Structure 1
Amino acid sequence: MTDSLHPVPGALPRPARRTLLGAALGGAVATGLPQLTGPAAAASWQQRWAPSARTDKLAAFETIEDDRADSHPSASPHIFTEGDNYRFTMHLVDRDTSTDRQRHEVTGMRDPAGGPYLRWKQGESWRVTYAMYIPSTLRATTTFTHIMQMKQPGTGSAPIIVQSLRRVGGAQTIELKIAEQDILVGRTPLAPLHDAWVDVDFQLTIGNGTSGTVRWILRKGGTTLIDARKTGVDTFLADRVRPKWGIYRSLGDTSDSLRDCHMLLTNMRGYQLI
């Protein structure tokens, strides 16, 4: 496929270098990390997940939610790999099982690919890093457009944390929120992310009540776009936390921002603090 939504692999720019990603973390931001003291000083981020889009394909993930309502079978698959990238393609005609929204997402992390999935449990600290390409066709909206979620697995469970593209005062932004408590972790303009590779570093301590912690870093080249952190927050519902990536958006946007679009992810890594 070689139309505008399915370019020849390699047609979009790849990250020129991994300035964010130190060798010790296989792609994670090394600068400005919180320093551990006392008994915790011996703990370190241990890599638990390092899928290759080229070789592992979608077997890297726990589940694939690709056009669950079978609304646009002629365009399937909507989630696939292009070289080293995971690609999520969304068309205006796509519909989820709830027809007021659209969803093409992957969930969880399998290590090794196709093997058991990793379980994020209460009291644990986890971290994911990856590079993200958001074209200018994937715009912020007045209603929800989520591109990463942390959820409790199960039908109907509410999101715990969402990374979203949101219109604020008419301006396009990208933000991270603790969803259930409606706590904003951080927000920054979306324009610098459009049509460029941006590195994401997301860190989570899973805690009930006030024992959770979240840190969210976005960098483009050598520039930090945002480095935000919240402590003393609730980051757990029940059972376990499971990450999700993709495009999940409402059709209720009032800013005329919905377009055929896509998103690319690459160099995905997962770590546990041990």
Structure 2
Amino acid sequence: MELFNRRTAMRGALAIAATPFAAGVASAEVGATAFTEKWGPNPGVDGLKAFVGIEDDRSNSHPSATHIFAEQDQYRFVMHKSDRDGSDRQRNEVRAIQKNGSRQDMKKNETWRFNYQMYMPSSLKGTTSFTHIFQVKHTGVASPVITVSLFRSGSTESIELRLFGAGQSKLGSTALAPLRNKWIDVEIEIKVGDSGSARFALKDSGTTVVNASRTGIDMWLGGDQAHPKWGIYRSISDSAQLQDTYLLLRNMKAYRNE
């Protein structure tokens, strides 16, 4: 699948059928907690206005290219090997969510759930340093609260969620290779609080491959709100694994407990 720049014609969206855990559901019940949909953008209609901030080549390292696209029914994040966000890393991400121009932030002690589908090509590798494809952050706080990251140890690649309020401990980990070149379902549920919780689940063609949770962890690292980020944010230190690549997301939903 080809990469994009400003001179490249926009292509149609991939149309591989799959259903997220709760896609298209205005409210859902998980155990004793009811959730209401707060955000569910249509890429072809809402475009990048679904997000508060677009961090596309902030260092202007590749001015001839656009790296973040809203397509007909998906969002595309492109990363070229030469792209830089400072001297030692790369970043093409979207930051925080909004609906009709109004931010949908995560407040202290609220529980939020994010459902979406994700497509990772073979060119998107795990690395021995950080390669984040999802984060939750507080405004003005350097450390993320959680990340979903692609890691490599020797020849083994994995996808896992890390809890930064618990010493970057892992929550759920599975082999990356079987999840590439297909749409997989992602569900991330977190309570952002001093004694918070997190759950991380992945499905591959309806089969659950990760479903891990933890309670009683620090999920509030400062500030007055938290927000999600999606895209590709990675160190360049493991240069052997860096290629021109991309990430696709679709059927994105955010729910808050009511």
User: Normalising to structure 2: TM-score of the pair?
Assistant: 0.92
Change (3 A) 1:223 1:260: same
State the match for 1:39 in structure 2.
Answer: none
State the match for 2:121 in structure 1.
Answer: 135
Q: Deviations over 1:145-173 (max 9, x none)?
A: 0000011112x621110000001343011
Change (3 A) 1:268 1:207: same
Counterpart Cα distance in 2 of 1:148 and 1:121: 19
State the match for 1:168 in structure 2.
Answer: 153
Report matched runs for 1:1-274 at 5 Å: 4-6=2-4, 9-10=11-12, 12=14, 14-18=15-19, 20-21=21-22, 24-25=25-26, 34-36=30-32, 43-75=33-65, 77-96=66-85, 98-112=86-100, 115-154=101-140, 157-180=142-165, 181-208=167-194, 211-238=195-222, 239-253=224-238, 256-274=240-258
Counterpart Cα distance in 2 of 1:127 and 1:133: 20
Report the AA paired with residue 183 of structure 1: S
| Preserved contact between residue 25 and residue 37 of structure 2 (Cα < 8 Å) | no
Structure 2 unaligned blocks of 5 or more: none
Cα root mean square deviation, aligned: 1.9
Aligned residues: 252
Regions of 4+ moved over 6 Å: none
Change (3 A) 1:68 1:129: same
Q: Deviations over 1:201-260 (max 9, x none)?
A: 11011111xx11000111111111111111111111122111000000000016x11100
Residue 189 of structure 1 deviates from its aligned partner by: 0.3
Report the AA paired with residue 178 of structure 1: L
Q: Deviations over 1:119-168 (max 9, x none)?
A: 211110001100001000001011100000011112x6211100000013
User: Normalising to structure 1: TM-score of the pair?
Assistant: 0.87
Residue 17 of structure 1 deviates from its aligned partner by: 3.2
Q: Deviations over 1:63-90 (max 9, x none)?
A: 1100000000111x21012211100000
Change (3 A) 1:165 1:62: same
| Preserved contact between residue 146 and residue 162 of structure 2 (Cα < 8 Å) | yes
Structure 1 unaligned blocks of 5 or more: 37-42
**Identity, % of aligned positions:** 43
